Amino acid sequence: MSSALDHKKPATTAAPGGARGAAASLLRLRELPVIIALALLVLVTYLVNPLFLTPQGVKDLLLNATIVMILAAGQTLLIITRNIDLSVGSMLGLVAFGTGSIFSAMPDLPIFAVFVIGMAFGALLGAVNGFLVTAAKVPALVITLGTLYVFRGLNNAWAGGKQYFAGDRPDAFGALSVDTVLGFPIITLVAILVVAAVAVYMAGTRPGRDLYAIGSDPDAATAFGIKVSKRVFLAFLANGALAGLAGVLYASRFNSVGATTGTGMELTVVAAAVVGGVAIFGGSGTVTGAALGALLLTTITSSLTALRVDKFWQQAIVGVLILTAIIIDRVASLRTAKKLRISEARNV
């Protein structure tokens, strides 16, 4: 994961030399501010309220972050290409309700099959977004704002007042978000695997690097021969599939899935990516950073509760922390950019 160092440059430039060692590259890590903030937050909360890090406390923290982590990873793919998907909350809702419906209609269906169906359903919804954005050449912000309401409307029409509860689903399915392996809930492990896979893909493969190139300079990417529309379409599709996965996991973890499931989630997801160092104008940031951003945001909420901060102050505090994280990140990335300019000038 530390291989994802510098995405300001298009994929074609050479990897930064390792001469000055690991320490320097560690300092240049875009994720560093988030990691520090997270460590500080956890430490302070733990010192005030030791219950914060009991096995149950850690499990809750990880569970809270899991679904946002997956969504933030998907969102990162899009933000890097200068796109965005605001419909993720609605997609998650549709898939989560779909999962509930499947289990109630076919209780004996293997759980694995439900995951496949859910991700395929999500991919289909993502493909709708991708098609509209690439075919109509309208900014993704507008298109996905539209599909946010369209998908939510479909969910309302489909679900009505119907809700499916945890009791309607097989125990083994619910156990995915209860049982732990080495202290990690199973669905969190799934999320970590997914984030790692996407991170490797983004850092180390040609199509992954193409996404950065598209976000850095779309015209240059086209001139360079990158199939921009195809890549962007696939990024939307992948984001949809990840939202689908998140939807299935949502149904495993929470009690009820219905018409309003996932409402308003898109803002948390975008905030997580931004806090995690993904530049909103595209071209830089990592999936790992976004996942850490998700962990930071959900941890903030939990620690404010553990610190018994009055409920009505929490949102304001979360907002201030988001701004702080962004400012820290901005300062850090400006410094990095400057250093890079100097060192590259020398290297020439």
Partner 1 sequence: MMLNRKSTGQTGRLAGMVAIAAAAALALTACNGGSGSDGGSSPAAEGDQKITFIPKQLNNPYTDVVLGGGKKGATEAGFASSQVVGPLEASASSQVSFINAETQAGTNVIVIAANDPDAVCTALGEARSAGAKIVAFDSDANPDCRDVFISQVVAKEVALIQTKLISEQIGGSGEIAILSATANATNQNEWIKFMEEELASNPDYKDIKLVAKVYGDDNDTKSFQEAQGLMQAHPNLKGIISPTTVGIAATARYLSTSEYKGKVALTGLGLPNEMRPFVKDGTVKEFALWDPAQLGYVAAFAGKALTDGTMTGAEGDTFTAGELGERKVEKGGLVIVGPPTVFNAENIDKYDF
Query: Which residues are near partner 1 by CB under 8 A?
Result: 49, 51-52, 55-57, 59-60, 64, 132, 136-138, 142-143, 146, 156, 159-163, 165-167, 174, 177-178, 254-256, 258-261, 263, 301-302, 305-308, 311-312
Nearer to partner 1, 308 or 346 (CB): 308
Q: Are 69 and 299 in contact (CB under 8 A)?
A: no
CA–CA separation, 218 and 122 (whole Å): 27
CA–CA separation, 119 and 83 (whole Å): 21
Closest approach of partner 1 to the CB of residue 9, in Å: 34
Closest approach of partner 1 to the CB of residue 314, in Å: 10
Q: Are 99 and 111 in contact (CB under 8 A)?
A: no
Token pair, residue 310, equals 């009055």
Longest dimension (CA), the chain: 66
Nearer to partner 1, 177 or 216 (CB): 177
Q: Shortest CA distance to 194 belongs to which of 246, 141, 145?
A: 246
Nearer to partner 1, 58 or 340 (CB): 58
Nearer to partner 1, 166 or 340 (CB): 166
Q: What is the DSSP secondary structure assignment for residue 257, as one 8-state letter?
A: E
Nearer to partner 1, 75 or 268 (CB): 268
**Cα 263 from chain centroid?**
16
Nearer to partner 1, 136 or 280 (CB): 136
- Which residues make beta-bridge pairs with 85? none
CA–CA separation, 96 and 329 (whole Å): 34
Closest approach of partner 1 to the CB of residue 27, in Å: 34
Closest approach of partner 1 to the CB of residue 310, in Å: 10
Nearer to partner 1, 25 or 156 (CB): 156
Closest approach of partner 1 to the CB of residue 190, in Å: 17
Q: Shortest CA distance to 130 belongs to which of 265, 243, 206, 248?
A: 243
Nearer to partner 1, 10 or 262 (CB): 262
Closest approach of partner 1 to the CB of residue 260, in Å: 7
Closest approach of partner 1 to the CB of residue 197, in Å: 26
Measuring CA to CA, how many Å separate 45 from each of 36, 53, 125? Answer: 14, 9, 40
Nearer to partner 1, 247 or 285 (CB): 247
Closest approach of partner 1 to the CB of residue 183, in Å: 13
CA–CA separation, 180 and 189 (whole Å): 9
Closest approach of partner 1 to the CB of residue 91, in Å: 16
Q: Are 2 and 334 in contact (CB under 8 A)?
A: no
CA–CA separation, 211 and 321 (whole Å): 29
E strand segments, the chain: 164-165, 180-181, 184-185, 256-257
CA–CA separation, 75 and 88 (whole Å): 8
